[in-house]
Copies of this chain bind each other. A is one copy, B any other.
C-alpha cells in the first residue's frame, strides 16, 4: 500500500457538510473568491504533493536522520529537494494576505494543508510549519523596515523560520530565560533598534539545514533593563546570514538524539552577540510570540490527527488482509483458512476507536481554524467576537486532547498488527515515536490543562464556557424532533450539565484551595474534550442520517462512528469528572511530597 493516502473525502465532509465553510466564506469579503471548487482543487494539489513527494521520504528520513558536521546540518536525502518543490508550487504563500504576496486562502485551508503534510511526513513538516505563524507576527508587530526586508521571503519560502524560546533550564517556564540583548545602535534600521543577542537555546527545530540560503530566527531574550519573569522578555528577528553576506554570530552546537522525529534536526543553538532587530515593544515579546504559539498549538492538534490517520490506514488495510482465528459465532470466511481479523470484535473496537477519535479531532481542529477566519474576517463585530471566544477557550483542548488521543490511536494501530506492528517494516512504530512529541511541545499537555482551567474557564468566570454550552444546548434543542438521534443526543446533554456542575465546584473550591483547579486540570480537560467530540459527532450524525445509502457506505459509516464514539468512548468523560472531583477534595496538592512519594 502507499505510504500515505490523503483522506480527502473525510476532510471534505468536515469542510463542506459539517462546517459549511464555503457558505461562510462568501460572507467574508477577504474570502469572497474562495469558492468550494477552488478550495477542493487546492487541497487536491496539496494531497498529491503529500502523497507523491513527501510520503516516500518519511521512512528513509527516520532511518538516516540528520547530521551535524562542522556546524552545518544536513537533513535526510530528498528533504531539501522536496522543499524546493514545495516553494516552487507556491505552498508557503497559500494563506498569506494578497497584499503581502500571498494567495489569500483562509486559515481553514492552511489547517487542511497542515494535516496533509504531516500525514505524509511529520519530520519534514517540522521545518516549514512555523513560517505562517512567523508571518503573522512579523506582519503584525515588526517595523516597516523589517517587513520590507523579510516578509516577501518568509511568504514565498525563500527563507525558513524558527522560534528560539527554550533554554536548558527554562522550558515550560519562559520567565526563567536568561538570554540577553544589548543595543547595537550602529545597526539600527529606521524605527527598528538593533541588538547583540547572547544565550544558549535548545530544542530548536530546523535551526540549520541545507534547504535555503538563509533562516529567520525569532528569538526571545532580555533587555538590560528588563524586569524579571515573563514581563521582561523581548522578541528579536535574528537572521542566520547578514545582508553583507557574513554569517551571524550564532552556531548550532548540537543536534538531539530523540525517540522520534529523527528526520527533523532538533538543534542546540549558541548566540554569541548575534545581530538582531527588535519586533514589537520592549518586554512585550511573549505576547507577540503567542500569536505564533496559539496557531502552533492548533496546528499540533491537527498534526497529531494526521499522523494517527496514517497509522490507522495501515492498520485497517492489515486487518482486512490478515487472517487469524475464527470469530466466536462461526466462520465469517469459510473459504479462507481463518477469518480476516477485521471481523474480530476486539479488532473492530481498536479500529473504531482510532477512526472515531481521528474524525473527532479533525472536526474540532478544522472548526477552530474556521473560527479564526471568522474572528479575523467576518464583517460583523459580534460574529467576530463570538468566533474569537471559541479558540480562546478551546485551543488547549485542541492541542492536548487531540495529541493524547493520537498517541493512543497510533499505539492501537500498532496493536492491530501484533508483533508485526513492533517491527520497523510497517511504518507504524515510526508514527508512534514521531507523534509522541505532540503531547510535549508547544506547551506540555499538563501546561495546556492548567491554562484551560485556570485562565480559559475560571479566568473569565465561565463566560466563554457558557457560550460554548449555549451553542451545544442550542443544537440539542434543534434536534428534539429527530427520534433517531435521541440516543446520541441524550448522553451529550447529560455531559454538558455534568461538566457545568463540575466547573461550579471548581470555582467554589478555588476560594478555599488555590491549587484545586490545577489538581483537577487534566481530568477537566479530558472531559471537555469528550464534550466537544460528543457535540461534533451528534452534528455529524444529524448530517449523515438522511444521506446514508446502501450503495455507498460513507455516510452510514459516519453515523456508526458517531454512535460508537458516544456510546463507547464518551462514558470515559464521566469517570474524568469523578476523578476531577476527587482530586479537588483529595488535597494531594497540599501534602508534603514525602508523605505522597515516600
Name A's B-contacting residues (CB within 8 A): 166, 169-173, 175-176, 202-203, 256-260, 316, 320, 323-325, 327-330, 337-338, 342-352, 355, 407, 411, 414-415, 418-425, 429, 432-433, 436-437, 439-441, 444-446, 449-450, 454, 513-515, 517-519, 521-522, 553-554, 556-558, 560-561, 563-564, 567-569, 571-572, 574-575, 578-579, 582-583, 586, 588-589, 591-598
B422 x A173 contact (CB < 8 A) = no
Which residue from B350, B518, B574 sits with its C-beta under 8 Å from A327?
B518
B598 x A514 contact (CB < 8 A) = no
CB distance from A464 to the nearest CB of B (A): 20
CB distance from A73 to the nearest CB of B (A): 17
A517 to B328, CA, bound (A): 9
A446 to B411, CA, bound (A): 13
Which residue from B345, B411, B563, B578 sits with its C-beta under 8 Å from A571?
B578
A423 x B258 contact (CB < 8 A) = yes
Q: Which 8 A-B pairs have the closest CB atoms?
A: A557-B598, A345-B519, A575-B575, A571-B578, A567-B582, A259-B429, A329-B514, A345-B589
Apart from A572-B572, A575-B575, what are 18 other A-B pairs with CB-CB below 8 Å?
A: A166-B419, A171-B419, A171-B420, A173-B325, A203-B419, A327-B515, A328-B515, A345-B518, A345-B521, A346-B450, A415-B440, A418-B440, A419-B437, A419-B441, A553-B598, A571-B582, A572-B575, A574-B575
A83 to B372, CA, bound (A): 61
B579 x A445 contact (CB < 8 A) = no
A278 to B472, CA, bound (A): 67
For residue A312, which residue of chain B has the nearest CB? B597
A343 to B338, CA, bound (A): 54
Q: A560-B596, A586-B563, A586-B564 are in contact. Are A424 and B518 (CB under 8 A)?
A: no
B591 x A423 contact (CB < 8 A) = no
Instruction: List, in ascending order, chain B residues with CB within 8 A of A415's CB.
Output: 439-440, 444-446
A557 x B440 contact (CB < 8 A) = no
A345 x B423 contact (CB < 8 A) = no
A172 x B324 contact (CB < 8 A) = yes
B173 x A338 contact (CB < 8 A) = yes
Instruction: List, in ascending order, chain B residues with CB within 8 A of A323's CB.
Output: 169
CB distance from A113 to the nearest CB of B (A): 23
B557 x A176 contact (CB < 8 A) = no
Which residue from B346, B440, B445, B575 sits with its C-beta under 8 Å from A522?
B346
Which residue from B203, B350, B564, B595 sits with its C-beta under 8 Å from A553?
B595
For residue A441, which residue of chain B has the nearest CB? B419
A432 to B429, CA, bound (A): 12
CB distance from A358 to the nearest CB of B (A): 12
B518 x A346 contact (CB < 8 A) = yes
**How many copies of this kind of chain does the complex include?**
2
A329 to B518, CA, bound (A): 10
Instruction: List, in ascending order, chain B residues with CB within 8 A of A344's CB.
Output: 446, 518
A557 x B595 contact (CB < 8 A) = yes
Instruction: List, in ascending order, chain B residues with CB within 8 A of A171's CB.
Output: 324, 418-420
Instruction: List, in ascending order, chain B residues with CB within 8 A of A257's CB.
Output: 423-425
A337 x B554 contact (CB < 8 A) = no
Q: A415-B439, A571-B578 are in contact. Are A422 and B355 (CB under 8 A)?
A: no
A338 to B202, CA, bound (A): 20
Instruction: List, in ascending order, chain B residues with CB within 8 A of A423's CB.
Output: 256-259
Instruction: List, in ascending order, chain B residues with CB within 8 A of A349's CB.
Output: 519, 522, 583, 588
Instruction: List, in ascending order, chain B residues with CB within 8 A of A173's CB.
Output: 324-325, 338
Instruction: List, in ascending order, chain B residues with CB within 8 A of A597's CB.
Output: 316, 342, 351-352, 355, 557
CB distance from A273 to the nearest CB of B (A): 25
CB distance from A158 to the nearest CB of B (A): 29
Which residue from B170, B337, B439, B567 sits with its C-beta under 8 Å from A586?
B567
CB distance from A587 to the nearest CB of B (A): 10
B256 x A176 contact (CB < 8 A) = no
A595 x B556 contact (CB < 8 A) = yes
5 contacts between A and B (CB under 8 A): A258-B424, A328-B514, A348-B589, A414-B436, A553-B595
Which among A440, A454, A574 has the greatest number of chain B C-beta atoms within 10 A?
A: A440
A330 to B513, CA, bound (A): 11
CB distance from A99 to the nearest CB of B (A): 37
A588 x B560 contact (CB < 8 A) = yes
Instruction: List, in ascending order, chain B residues with CB within 8 A of A556's CB.
Output: 595
A327 to B589, CA, bound (A): 9
Q: A355-B597, A560-B595, A595-B553 are in contact. Are A407 and B418 (CB under 8 A)?
A: no
Which residue from B347, B421, B513, B522 sits with its C-beta under 8 Å from A329?
B513
A142 to B568, CA, bound (A): 48
B176 x A337 contact (CB < 8 A) = yes
